[in-house]
Amino acid sequence: MKSNWMAALASAALLALSPTMATAQTAQPIELKGDVKVSKLVVENGKERQVLSEPKVVVPGDRLIFSTSYRNNGSETVRNFIVTNPIPNGVMLAPEGAEAHSVSVDGGKTWGKLASLSVSNGDGATRPAVAGDVTHVRWVLPEVAPGAEGKVTYNAIVR
C-alpha cells in the first residue's frame, strides 16, 4: 500500500546533504515527512494551553515546532536509523528543552548534549555552547521494525 508520501519523497528537496543517495529509491522502505507548526500559548478559563496552527503569519519571536515523521513500510527491520535536522536560517533552537537533544554546533561534524559542547568566541578562547549556537539536531534510533512509525520534533524561535 503506497501512500502519497512516496510522491512527496520523489519530488524532494533542494539540499543534498549527503551524496550517497540510494540507487533504488522506489524500493527503499522508509517514508520521511517534514512539517512545521506555529506554537502559541492561549489562556482559556485561566489556564494556559498550547495551540498549534499552520504557519500563515510568522514574525520574529514566534515559536515554531519542526517535526519529522517516519514510517517503515518494508518487511525488514531497519537498523541504526538517524534523523538529522539542520536548524534553518532565521531560527534558533529554543533554549527550553534544548538540553535533552543530541545537537551539533559545528555543522554536523561532532555531536553531543548541549551541556558538553563549546564554541570558540573569536579570539582563541572558548565558551560553553548555548541553544543559539546549535546548527543541527538529530535523533538516533537503533531500529525501526516493519510497520513502525514515529515523529521527532524540536522547538525553535524565529530570530
Partner 1 sequence: MKYSNPALFRAHSALGICLAVAAMASPAHAAGVAAGTMIENTATATYGSGPATTTIQSNTVTVKVDELLDVAVAGLTNTTVTAGATNVVLAYSITNTGNGSEAFELTADPAVAGNDYTVTVQQLVVDTNDNGIYEPGVDLVLPAGSATPAIAADSSLRIFVIVDLPAGVTDGQSSQVRLTAAAATGTGAPGTTFSGQGEGGGDAVVGASGASASDLDTLLATLASVTLAKAASIADPFGGTQPVPGAVVTYTLTATVSGSGQAQDLRITDAIPSGTAYEAGTLKLDGTSLTDASDSDAGTASTSGIAVELGTVAGGTTKVVTFNVKIN
**C-alpha dist (Å) from residue 26 to 1, 9, 70, 115:** 13, 10, 16, 40
Residue 50: CB minimum distance to partner 1, A = 17
Rank residues 19 and 124 by Cβ distance to partner 1 and give the closer one: 19
Amino acid of residue 115: A
Positions in 105-134 near partner 1 (CB under 8 A): none
Closest CA to 10 of 28, 30, 26: 26
Rank residues 77 and 118 by Cβ distance to partner 1 and give the closer one: 77
Q: State which of residues 6, 65, 86, 135 lies at the interface with partner 1 (CB under 8 A).
A: 86
Beta 136-144 vs 102-104: how paired, if at all?
Answer: antiparallel
Give me the residues that bind partner 1 (CB under 8 A), please: 8-9, 11-18, 20-22, 25, 28, 30, 32-36, 55-61, 64, 66, 68, 70, 78-86, 88-91, 144, 158-159
